[in-house]
Structure 1
Amino acid sequence: MDAVRQVEDAMVMSGDVSRAGSEEKLRRLQTITDAALSQLGVEDLLDELLERTRDLLQADTAAILLVDPSGTELVATAASGLEEEVRQGVRLPVGRGFAGSVAARGEPVMLDQVDHTNVLNPILLTRGVVSVLGVPMLNGTQVIGVLHVGTLTPRRFTHDDVELLRLVADRASLATQARLSRLDRAAAVALQRSLLPARPQAVPGLDVAARYVPGAAVGVGGDWYDLFALPSGQIGFAIGDVAGHGLRAAVVMGRIRSALRAYALETDDPADVLTRLDRKVQLFEPDVMATVLYAVLDPSTGSLTLSSAGHLPPVLTEPDEPSRLIAVAPDLPLGAYRSARRHNTPASLPPGGCLFLYTDGLVERRTRPLDDGVELLRAALTCAPADTMCTTAMAALLDEAAATDDVAVLAVRRTGEKSAA
């Protein structure tokens, strides 16, 4: 209540209202900090806040517009007295008009007289709104939306009104961020599950297993794995990590995974596939950075070709041999530099041998160098069935605490078995 009391004191000191009037205003102001509001769902909370804001400021309309993911438009999200804004999906450009100016400046804007020269939203004009006041909704210093109120009669808003509306905007911002975070995480998890099945497809001659675990600190991210049969009869498999976390990273991951599959149908050359994939990322995902390891295996001969776009080297285990890292020279990550050259590394997977691929969430910790984590993984793995190798790796590297970053691993073991004729 300190912020509320400060508003009350400022109201009296500024001469906006008398002490008696201030007490009445304070009583009404407490309606927006009512603990009972916390029991409402986010949508109901925003609707109730807008209703109470109209009463508090004696306004005829109130609305919330949120900045869209591109950062260029405001989208009508909740309204009281202007419900058609939400029903019609009103979108307004940031930087233009009344609401757009509030978002661009990050400061309150008051208009004593609304007309077509200062307001872009036709609904305000058709409803007969005369005066408006808008304040930014903030997440730290970032503008995430605009809260505005309007009246159907001329009104000169005061500093007191601005401060009251700021308090409402703060409450609405917290609720909105909580809602967006939950939606983002739920959508990202659903997308990850749809793209990363619990067990990769069965392939004759191979024993395959995989794991995916969201990070404890950041949740679902852009880590992924894939394995698929190629028209040539060979098997393509990949693992990758899109920089960032949440829904955005998961969506980009899905696009990259699908594009890699498409390019893999056109060529069995892993370096060529990653070259094409990098060109796609550079053009359509200009702000994205991702690491990928892509390999093509002939199950009948064990011939293996790998190409790395900045990804960590895989671990190779063989019967009666110590595990070792395959010396794949990493080229630049996807999205790092236009026309980056990419190379292939030839290798061989003997019968009974297993190739283990992983993302940095498995081995990287703030408390130790990355190379030490990779060495711990190499030392923990021995030649075993693919599922056992995944279990061993997760137990060895995630025994003391959950990974802060998301983790994806893929084990591909060559059994030497042939498909039935």
Structure 2
Amino acid sequence: MSELTIENRRKIMESLKLIKEISSITASVLDLPQVFEQIISACIRYSKADAGSILLVDASRKELRLAKHKSEDGAAPTDFRLKLGQGVSGYVVKTGRSMLVEDVQDEPRYIPMRPKVRSVLAVPIFDQGEAVGVIILDSNRRSAFDREDLQLLEVVSSLASDAIRNAHTFHELEQRVRELDLLNRINRIFSQTLDLGKAFDQVVAVLKRELKMERAT
């Protein structure tokens, strides 16, 4: 009994440590690929999963697209996509319900992202009540996850949702600042010369540089 209690305490402490780590990541990092990378790495480390992924909804195509994947063997799918409702991930997003699959061989909806997978955790990511993605952990072992792992991943999913929202807000503000800066530069050009031809040439040069910067980012 005491050993079980000690193990429970250890797992609770590890869970709290993971939540604290994810909270710190989502509060301090605004680059989404980096946020996803760190979230997946932390979840794999905690759960001893063999791989983890985040897929996001592409509303224009009505499909899920792979945003980040990390596996212990280094293998990564190049362009993994699912229609909404397709596979375990698509089902989770469509229904908004998490799934714990103890053995993928018994789950007809499962579509493999990599070989050797036996068990899967899949949790939706919500934004303003709408499922916008899914976090997945998978293992080469059968029954590698339990209900506590599922509940913890749901907490992580909530934090990931905050990170997505924060990143989008930051990039919108960043874009607005760039637009205002561009307008100020154009206004300065026209205020410094009466030669409209020369002014337009300078404006075109500024716009070309701005376009190159946007393509680079």
On whether the aligned pair clears a TM of 0.5, the verdict is yes
Given the alignment, which residue of 33, 47, 55 partners 1:57? 47
Q: Greater strand percent: which structure?
A: 1
- Which residue pairs with 1:117 in the alignment? 108
Alignment map for 1:59-208 (pairs within 5 Å): 59-70=49-60, 72-81=62-71, 84-85=76-77, 88-115=78-105, 117-120=108-111, 122-124=112-114, 126=115, 128-155=116-143, 157-183=145-171
Tell me the CA shift for residue 181 of structure 1. 4.0
5 Å matches for 1:11-410?
18-33=8-23, 35=24, 38-42=27-31, 43-70=33-60, 72-81=62-71, 84-85=76-77, 88-115=78-105, 117-120=108-111, 122-124=112-114, 126=115, 128-155=116-143, 157-183=145-171
Which has the higher relative contact order, 1 or 2, with Cα contacts under 8 A spaced 6 or more apart? Answer: 2
What is the CA distance between 1:93 and its match in structure 2?
0.8
Q: 1:141 to 1:44 in 2, by over 3 A?
A: same
CA distance in 2, matches of 1:187, 1:91: 29
TM-score by length of 2: 0.68
* Partner in structure 1 of residue 193 of structure 2: none
SS of residue paired to 1:84 = coil
Query: Identity over the aligned pairs, expressed in percent?
Result: 23
How far apart are residue 156 of structure 1 and its match?
5.0
Say if 1:139 and 1:173, in contact at 8 Å, map to a contact too: yes
Q: Residue 90 of structure 1: CA displacement? A: 1.5
Q: CA 1:83 to 1:68, structure 2 compared with 1: closer, same or farther past 3 Å?
A: farther
Unaligned runs of 5+ in 2: 188-217
Tell me the residue number matched to 2:202.
Answer: none
Whether contact under 8 Å (1:29, 1:56) holds in the other structure is no
**Gaps spanning 5+ residues in structure 1: where?**
1-14, 200-421
Q: Is the 8 A contact 1:101 1:109 kept in 2?
A: no
TM-score (norm 1): 0.37
SS, match of residue 134 in structure 1: strand
RMSD after superposition: 3.2
Deviation at 1:179, TM superposition (A): 2.6
Distance 1:190 1:69 in 2: 27
Residue 123 of structure 1 aligns to a residue in which SS? coil
Larger Rg: 1
